[in-house]
Amino acid sequence: MIETVDQIFVIIKRWLVAFAPQASQPFVSALISVAAIFAVFPSLFALTTILERKGLGRIQNRLGPNRVGPWGLLQPLADGLKALTKEDVIPSVADRVVHFAAPLVLVVPVFLALAVLPMGRNMEGIDLDAGVLFFFAVGAATELSVFMAGWSSRNKYSLLGAMRAIAQMISYEVPLILSAVTVIMAVGSLSLVKIVEAQSGYWAGLPQWYVLTPWGFAAFVLFMISAAAESNRSPFDLPEGESEIIAGYYIEYSGFKFALFFLGEYVGMFAISGLGITLFLGGWHAPLAFLDWVPSYAWFFGKLLALICLFIWVRGTLPRLRMDQLMNFAWKFMLPMALINILVAGLWRFMPVGWERWLACGALVVGPYLLLAKALLDNNHIGRRVYRYAD
Amino acid sequence: MSPVFIILALLTSLSALAAVSLRNLVHCALALTITFAGLAALYLQLHAQFVGFAQILVYIGAVAILIVFAILLTRGAEPAGVSLFSKSWYLGAGVAAVVFAVLAGVVLSSKALSPQVPPLAEISVHQIGDQLMTRYVLPLEVLGLLLTAALIGAVIIAMNEGPKRKKEIPGADRLSASATNGDGQAHEAALRGLAVDAGLPGSAGTASPEREVHPGEVAT
């Protein structure tokens, strides 16, 4: 009974595929998986917009949207209608083909990336042997859309925002991939299904997730920070902040194309959170052994919602980072920490199980963190406050 | 010659043609990106998963971005003043025909085209990693050395020139001390330069003398 509920979507899919002729069954199977992803993730996007606006509102001591529907829950519907019916304004000097293609180049790779995430037991879109590499490859392809949007608008603020965004994204890709490399080292495979399988099992009641090891925790923190920077989320949203550069590289987009950018950004956030869950938080495994009866997809989406709430929380709390602070943070702090973390992960793998392992790896993670942080903060020369007046 | 291969080959060659003959430089760069994608698809069709995805990650994710950055930061995006095709095009056509003949000869006489080739077993990433660490470890180390040399070269080119570039603005050294000390300031120095060029407020430091107001004093 528990197993049926857990595998209910797989059973439904197999039953639907059986209706198709034998030769085209792989295609129909893939089509059904794609349809399921397209049904779930845009609805999650709608839920996230309302969650974010209400959550940010409460953090800022105000109510969020509460007019449309009970507690404002139909707000995404109103937003979608607005985006669909708004006039599509294109600047007359804009490069039409590139301007049109930019939102598409953002949305398509982001949905491609969702295909390799295992969302439940036997519930991945496709089990690629090089799944993690595929994910990062299509993630890298989204950066081109930022350039296309910024360039084609023929607007200097748009171009400036695009340049900053691309610089930020390629800078934060390095710690992102390096922190994922530690997990790949521990598992020995690039396949996401095998990575989730390697985190099964419970030891003294606690799950064997990688986030509960010293190197895994450091890698998870680095991964989440880089994920926020990759999706241009606050506090890394200087390229698109409203008070900074008037929405940066998508200034000249209105109506449905803007909605597509918004969708692409949020679904990108889901995809990279999903990867974080798969690599560090044990994928679809339950946190405690006796909670095994809850279906696996419920755990995956529960963890995904928790990470989304974490992103919203961080957005409402921390101020925006300035461009040079952002870059310094990536290259001077996160990259050395990610490299040291790879060393620690290797040490963990080869030391015998016991408290010495924890002590050595914990010291090797915490020590450089404190030293680096102290060194970088000392360089800031924060002295007495100086007021500058316009003369 | 399956239909998938024909479609991919057409896509790749047409976008490569577009990359060399379009007028707008940015369009050329984007057409080149489509060529890279077509090549990646060809690798994937040959069941070389690792190479295909690495092609997307490296070429589209890094090389194409490098090309567009080069276009952004220079004035190369203005439309070409002179015609794109040279007057002595027949010489170029001759050279192209000779190269094509040589390549076609090599490809047609290779063993891969003979019908008795058994299908290759699918190579897993695990095996590639194994080979890289045992049999091909010397090329791997040479690659690492090459990348390190490129990184050091990039940092040296973009490095701040040291004390003779610092402007002596009273009070502004506290602002700039947090940003420009030491070397390796490639990114943020370039970006600050660009921000200054774009005239963004607050990025050029202050040119007017500051008045230090200590907390507790009333400023008049």
- With respect to residue B131, please indicate whether it lies within any of the assigned structural domains: no
**Can you tell me the mean pLDDT for A335-341?**
94
Decide if pLDDT at B111 tops 80.
no
Decide if pLDDT at B177 tops 60.
no
Residue range B42-80, pLDDT digits in tens: 999 988 889 999 999 999 989 999 898 888 777 665 666
**Can you tell me the mean pLDDT for A11-20?**
90
The 3-state DSSP class for residue A123 equals coil
- With respect to residue B108, please indicate whether it lies within any of the assigned structural domains: no
- Per-residue pLDDT band for A219 (boundaries 50, 70, 90) equals very high
- Burial (0-12, 13-18, 19+ Cβ within 10 Å), A86: middle
**Can you tell me the mean pLDDT for A294-320?**
93
Q: Do A133 and B214 touch (CB under 8 A)?
A: no
Q: Do A171 and B56 touch (CB under 8 A)?
A: no
Q: Do B62 and A166 touch (CB under 8 A)?
A: no
- Per-residue pLDDT band for A92 (boundaries 50, 70, 90) equals confident
Average predicted confidence (pLDDT) for chain A: 89
**Can you tell me the mean pLDDT for B129-143?**
91
DSSP character string of chain B: --HHHHHHHHHHHHHHHHHHH-SSHHHHHHHHHHHHHHHHHHHHHTT-HHHHHHHIIIIIIIIHHHHHHHHHHSSTTSPPSS-SS-TTHHHHHHHHHHHHHHHHHHHHTSGGGSTTPPPPPPPPHHHHHHHHHHTSHHHHHHHHHHHHHHHHHHHHHHS---GGG----TTHHHHHHTTS-SS--HHHHHHHHHHHHTT-TTSS---SPP----BTBPP-
Q: Which residues in chain A have their CB less than 8 angstroms from residue B53's CB? A: 130, 133-134, 137
Decide if pLDDT at A278 tops 80.
yes
B171 in A contact zone (CB under 8 Å): yes
Question: How many structural domains are present in chain B?
Answer: 2
CA A220 to each of CA A175, A236, A276, A298: distance values in angstroms, whole numbers, following the listed order? 11, 18, 7, 22
Please count the residue pairs, one from chain A and one from chain B, whose beta carbons lie less than 8 angstroms apart: 124
Among A94-108, A131-145, A243-257, B189-203, which is the least confidently predicted range? B189-203
How large a percentage of chain B has pLDDT more than 70?
Answer: 65
Decide if pLDDT at A267 tops 90.
yes
DSSP character string of A56-104: HHHHTTS----SSSGGGTTHHHHHHHHHHHS-----TTS-HHHHHHHHH
Q: Do B178 and A379 touch (CB under 8 A)?
A: yes
- With respect to residue B67, please indicate whether it lies within any of the assigned structural domains: yes
Question: Contact, A128 vs A116, CB < 8 A?
Answer: yes
Q: Which residues in chain A have their CB less than 8 angstroms from residue B208's CB? A: 390-391
Q: Do A140 and B62 touch (CB under 8 A)?
A: yes
Q: For residue A111, give both structure tokens.
A: 């949905």
- Burial (0-12, 13-18, 19+ Cβ within 10 Å), A172: buried
CA A138 to each of CA A109, A112, A178, A266, A271: distance values in angstroms, whole numbers, following the listed order? 5, 7, 17, 16, 11
Q: Do A166 and B181 touch (CB under 8 A)?
A: no
Partners of A206 in beta bridges: A203
Q: Which residues in chain B have their CB less than 8 angstroms from residue A139's CB? A: 61
- Per-residue pLDDT band for A276 (boundaries 50, 70, 90) equals very high
Q: What is the pLDDT of residue B36?
A: 96
The minimal CB distance from A133 to the residues B33, B57, B208 is found for B57
β-strands A206-207, A202-203 pairing: antiparallel
What whole-number distance in Å separates Cα of residue A153 and Cα of residue A98? 9
Q: What is the pLDDT of residue B24?
A: 82
Angle between helices A335-350 and A355-378 (to 10 degrees): 170
Burial of B78-98, coded b for 16+ CB within 10 Å and e otherwise, reads eeeeeeeeeeeeeeeeeeeee
Question: Contact, A357 vs A197, CB < 8 A?
Answer: no
**Nearest CA to A361 among A212, A168, A227?**
A212
What whole-number distance in Å separates Cα of residue A62 and Cα of residue A54? 9
What whole-number distance in Å separates Cα of residue A281 and Cα of residue A265? 22
Partners of B217 in beta bridges: B215
The minimal CB distance from B174 to the residues A139, A166, A383 is found for A383
Q: What is the pLDDT of residue B78?
A: 64
Phi, psi of A389 (to 5 degrees): -110, 150
Q: Provide the whole-model pTM.
A: 0.83
What whole-number distance in Å separates Cα of residue A159 and Cα of residue A165? 10
The amino acid sitting at A27 is: F
Q: Do A163 and B174 touch (CB under 8 A)?
A: no
Q: Do B53 and A133 touch (CB under 8 A)?
A: yes
Residue range A131-165, pLDDT digits in tens: 999 999 999 988 889 888 888 888 888 888 888 88
Q: Do A387 and B219 touch (CB under 8 A)?
A: yes
- Per-residue pLDDT band for A235 (boundaries 50, 70, 90) equals confident
Q: Which domain holds residue B172?
A: 159-197
Q: Do A137 and B171 touch (CB under 8 A)?
A: no
Which residue did the predictor score with more confidence, A270 or A239? Answer: A270
Decide if pLDDT at B148 tops 90.
yes
Q: What is the pLDDT of residue B84?
A: 66
- Per-residue pLDDT band for A338 (boundaries 50, 70, 90) equals very high
The 3-state DSSP class for residue A124 equals strand
- Touching A: B residues 177-216, CB under 8 Å: 177-179, 181-182, 184, 187-188, 191-192, 194-195, 198, 200, 206, 208-215
CA distance B96 to chain A (A): 31
The minimal CB distance from A324 to the residues B49, B126, B192 is found for B192
Which residue does chain B place closest to A166, by CA atoms?
B65
Q: Which own/partner contact pairs does A153-156 have at CB distance under 8 Å and 24+ positions apart?
A: A153/A91, A153/A94, A153/A99, A153/A249, A153/A251, A153/A252, A153/A253, A154/A91, A154/A93, A154/A94, A154/A95, A155/A91, A155/A251, A155/A252, A156/B198
Q: Do A323 and B24 touch (CB under 8 A)?
A: no
B72 in A contact zone (CB under 8 Å): yes
Q: Which residues in chain A have their CB less than 8 angstroms from residue B177's CB? A: 379-381
Task: Write the CATH number for B49.
Answer: 1.20.120.1200
Q: Do B56 and A98 touch (CB under 8 A)?
A: no
- Per-residue pLDDT band for B162 (boundaries 50, 70, 90) equals low
Q: Do A324 and B126 touch (CB under 8 A)?
A: no
Sign of the torsion angle spanned by Cα atoms A76, A77, A80, A81 = negative
Q: Which residues in chain A have their CB less than 8 angstroms from residue B26's CB? A: 95, 98, 151
- Per-residue pLDDT band for A205 (boundaries 50, 70, 90) equals confident
- With respect to residue B183, please indicate whether it lies within any of the assigned structural domains: yes
Q: What is the pLDDT of residue A325?
A: 86
Which residue did the predictor score with more confidence, B84 or A253? Answer: A253
- Per-residue pLDDT band for A179 (boundaries 50, 70, 90) equals very high
| Domain final residue, candidates B32, B58, B77 | B77
Q: Do B125 and A129 touch (CB under 8 A)?
A: yes
B20 in A contact zone (CB under 8 Å): no
Q: What is the pLDDT of residue B119?
A: 67
Q: What is the pLDDT of residue B203?
A: 43
- With respect to residue B44, please indicate whether it lies within any of the assigned structural domains: yes
- Per-residue pLDDT band for B109 (boundaries 50, 70, 90) equals confident
What whole-number distance in Å separates Cα of residue A273 and Cα of residue A224? 8
Contacts of residue B155, Cβ cutoff 8 Å, sequence gap at least 6: B183, B184, B186
- With respect to residue B207, please indicate whether it lies within any of the assigned structural domains: no
Which residue did the predictor score with more confidence, B122 or B217? Answer: B122
CA distance B140 to chain A (A): 17
- With respect to residue B185, please indicate whether it lies within any of the assigned structural domains: yes
**Nearest CA to B37 among B60, B17, B69, B14?**
B60
Question: Contact, A25 vs A40, CB < 8 A?
Answer: no
Decide if pLDDT at A360 tops 50.
yes
Q: Which residues in chain A have their CB less than 8 angstroms from residue B174's CB? A: 381, 383, 386
**Nearest CA to A111 among A72, A80, A138, A150?**
A138
The minimal CB distance from A166 to the residues B65, B195, B200 is found for B65
The amino acid sitting at A295 is: P
Q: Do A171 and B178 touch (CB under 8 A)?
A: no
How large a percentage of chain A has pLDDT more than 90?
Answer: 45
**Can you tell me the mean pLDDT for B97-126?**
81
Largest CA distance in chain B: 93
- With respect to residue B15, please indicate whether it lies within any of the assigned structural domains: yes
**Can you tell me the mean pLDDT for A332-347?**
93
